[in-house]
Amino acid sequence: MIKWRDEYNTGVENLDAQHRRLFEIANEAYGLLRDELRVDKYDDIVAILDELREYTKYHFQTEEDYMLSIGYKKFLSHKAEHAEFIAKIEAVDLDKVDASQDEYLRVTLDFVCTWITEHILGRDKLYATP
C-alpha cells in the first residue's frame, strides 16, 4: 500500500488532489493483488491499467499547463519524463499480464509507486509554491 504523506504536497491544490488520485489508483491495484480469493484478475488489471493511463494523461496535461502558466524553466525535461511514463504504460503486453497476473501486478505496482513518489519529490517539488 502506498500512503500519501504531507511531504508530497506541492502547494498547488488541484495538482495535489490529482496526485492523491494516482495514489488511490495504485492502492486499487494493491488491493487486487492482496485479494487471494480472486483467481482470474485479468479484467480488473486491464481496467486499472486503462484508468491509470487515462488519468495520468489528464493529470500530466493539467500539470504541464500549470508549468507553462508560471513559466517553469524545466518544462521540456519534465514533459519528456511524463511521455516516458505514458509510453511504459502503453507498452504493456497484455498476453504477459494474463500469463502471470499477480507477478505482473507486483512489478507494475513497484514501477508506479516508485515513479510517482520519486517524480513528485524529485521533480514536481521544483515547481512547488513556498
Residue at 1: amino acid letter: M
Mean pLDDT value of segment 91-119 = 87
What is the residue extent of each domain of the chain? 6-127
Mean of the per-residue pLDDT values for the chain?
91
Cα-Cα-Cα-Cα torsion 87, 128, 77, 104, nearest 10 degrees, comes to: -20
Q: Residue 25 pLDDT more than 70?
A: yes
> CB count, 10 Å around CB of 16?
17
Judge contact between 3 and 118, C-beta under 8 A.
Answer: no
pLDDT band of residue 130 (cuts 50, 70, 90) is low
What HEC string does the chain produce? CCCCCHHHCCCCHHHHHHHHHHHHHHHHHHHHHHCCCCCCCHHHHHHHHHHHHHHHHHHHHHHHHHHHHCCCCCHHHHHHHHHHHHHHHHCCCHHHHHHCHHHHHHHHHHHHHHHHHHHHHHCHHHHCCC
CATH 3.90.1720.10 fits 6-127, yes or no: no
DSSP 99: H
* Tens of pLDDT, residues 29-50: 999 989 988 889 999 999 999 9
pLDDT tops 90 at residue 111: no
